[in-house]
Amino acid sequence: MLYIGVDLGTTSVKLLLMDENGDIKSIVTREYPIFYPQTGWSEQNPEDWYSALMDGIKELTKDCDKSTVDGISFSGQMHGMVILDEKDKVIRPAILWNDGRTQAECDYLNNEIGVEKISAYTGNMALTGFTAPKLLWVKKHEPDNFARIKKVMLPKDYAAYRLSGVHCTDVSDASGMLLLDVKHKCWSKEMLEIIGLKEEQLAQIFESYQVVGTMKKEVAEELGLPETVKVIAGGGDQAVAAVGTGTVGHGMCNVSLGTSGVVFIASKEYADVEKNALHVFAHADGKYHFMGVMLSAAASNKWWMDDIIATKEYGKEQADIKKLGENNVYFLPYLMGERTPHNNPNARGTFIGMTMDTSRADMTQAVLEGVAFALRDSFEITKKLGVSIERIRINGGGAKSPLWCKIIANVLDVKVDKINSEEGPAFGAAILAAVGCGKYATVEEAAGKLIKVIETTEQDKEVVKLYNKKYDVFKELYPTLKDMFDKIAE
């Protein structure tokens, strides 16, 4: 049988066709536009998602036996607000995760309602990207539109609805709405009251691997697929990407070393995190996960290489770096502010510790180490929750550097594994489809059989000791400089 994985991203939809053995048969990508009505605003037309999805499925399945397509599932950009009227028509363009118009609404939720209450209701604090502040913004600035809301949906859930006719969501994606009681995996009555919504205005909640329905007759006919094709709920992009890397089950961890850096830790249990230093979301495997996000990971190295020392020869610049743990130059990688653990948009990138004998290689090494130390900040929080991590899986553009993988292994004191797939969210969605269709009993079973480690970088205990001392210095730099960052921002 064949399974379709859909990754509904911010700039494009990526579709993947996988057989029951995990072999990828075809990959198709279709782009769609983003609209910026005002500075800091970001919107899309949900109809563009659906058109790209349908066109992509047709291309994806054109050369296969369509009768063998058994299921389809989704990964989706999180937090986006899609609102439908009583006829299930889109009321206004979707407001996306990277839209920054809701600062006043977040201040109201965190400061006037109180971050302690919001966290007690949802497990998280209000951030501008989340869905609930967007709804408050519409309520204040577009009251006529707010009054017309019959259903609130997330981007990938709108796509699933168009295919199945079912208003559905899943626990992992819903965790990022600030409307879900994450611990109990149900809608928060307190948050609905604060926003001014009724529970029937939200979608039915599923686990990510559960079947929500089958393909509508008219949709199946247009695609040339059987009406029996199952539509599986899917999940938020980070959770489904984690499935695609096999980061499921207690204590499994994935580090994504892309433009931003994401530390994703799977956990069998829910836990409250002090000061909301990590996101606490439901996971696509049926359990929970913690997530730390740093805003400038590989982006820091790209900035240093491309813009400052003006070279594209990344490997050549790293070739002279031999002595790990002995560099006295430090770099704070806060070029775009920082999320975890500081949640401070005023934080700034900083070099400190240079002397007259500091070399270009020392500076390059400091950038790589600074990102690794910032990732460790998330690990330190996780340790306090009692989750022990002995090895991680790593992906993203930065993971192509053997040196950076070695630095991370020693800074975090873990084994660093690379796996046999780089398709992430789309592959994870296809795995969820296979589980939903009954090919595998659980997400953990499917990941264990389909995803294999192909390379491991191990830590050196002596270098670990050196980096522990350096991290003790690094973690003191931000609190020491915080007031200066605020003054600079003024």
pLDDT at residue 273 tops 90: no
Rounded Cα distance between 369 and 348, Å, is: 16
Paired residues of 330 in beta bridges? 352
Sequence ranges of the binding site: 78-79
Residue 397 has pLDDT above 90, yes or no: no
pLDDT bucket at 152, cuts 50 / 70 / 90: very high
How far, in Å, CA of 259 to CA of 270, rounded?
28
Active site residue 237: yes
Mean pLDDT of 331-351: 92
Binding residue numbers for substrate: 78-79
Active-site option among 237, 285, 413, 417? 237
pLDDT at 259: 85
The predicted structure's pLDDT at residue 424? 83
| Predicted pLDDT at 357 | 96
Identify the pLDDT of residue 260.
Answer: 87
Tell me, what's the pLDDT at 8? 96
The whole-chain average pLDDT of the chain stands at 95
Confidence bin at 9 (pLDDT 50/70/90): very high
Read off the pLDDT of residues 195-206 as tens digits, 9 standing for 90 and up. Answer: 999 999 999 999
Q: Which of the pair, 208 or 337, is modelled with greater confidence?
A: 208
Q: Is the pLDDT of residue 276 over 90?
A: no
pLDDT of residue 339: 85
Q: What percent of the chain has pLDDT over 70?
A: 100
Residue 119: which of 238, 330, 257, 274 has the closest Cα? 274
Binned at pLDDT 50, 70 and 90, residue 295 comes out as confident
Task: Classify the C-alpha dihedral 241-247-250-256 as positive or negative.
Answer: negative
Asked if the model's pLDDT at residue 157 lies above 90, the reply is yes
* pLDDT for 422: 81
Range scoring the smallest mean pLDDT among 83-92, 180-189, 241-250: 241-250
Could you tell me the pLDDT band of residue 154, with boundaries at 50, 70 and 90? very high
| Segment 365-377 mean pLDDT | 97
Topology, domain 2-239: Nucleotidyltransferase; domain 5 (3.30.420)
User: What's the confidence (pLDDT) of residue 56?
Assistant: 98
Q: Is residue 366 pLDDT above 90, yes or no?
A: yes
Per-residue 3-state assignment (H helix, E strand, C coil) for 8-63? ECCCEEEEEEEECCCCEEEEEEEECCCECCCCCCCEECHHHHHHHHHHHHHHHCCC
The answer to whether residue 485 scores a pLDDT higher than 90 is yes
Residue span(s) of the chain under CATH 3.30.420.40 come to 2-239, 248-419+460-489
User: Tell me: domain 248-419+460-489, CATH 3.30.420.40, correct?
Assistant: yes
Encode pLDDT of 48-61 as tens digits. 999 999 999 999 99
Question: Is the per-residue pLDDT at 406 higher than 90?
Answer: yes
What pLDDT, on the 0 to 100 scale, is given for residue 275?
Answer: 83
Q: What are the beta bridge partners of residue 84?
A: 90, 151
Residue 388: pLDDT over 90: no
Confidence check: pLDDT of 474 > 90: yes
Whether the predicted model's global pTM rises above the 0.85 cut: yes
Q: How confident is the model at residue 423 (pLDDT cuts 50, 70, 90)?
A: confident
Mean pLDDT of 389-396: 91
Contacts of 368 (CB under 8 A, 6+ apart): 301, 318, 321, 401, 403, 404, 407
- Give the bridge partners for 344, in sequence order: 338
Instruction: Give the pLDDT confidence score for residue 274 in this predicted structure.
Output: 83
DSSP output for 212-240: EEE--HHHHHHHT--TT-EEE--EEHHHH
Residue pLDDT, tens place only, 79-131: 999 999 999 999 999 999 989 899 999 999 999 999 999 999 999 999 988 99
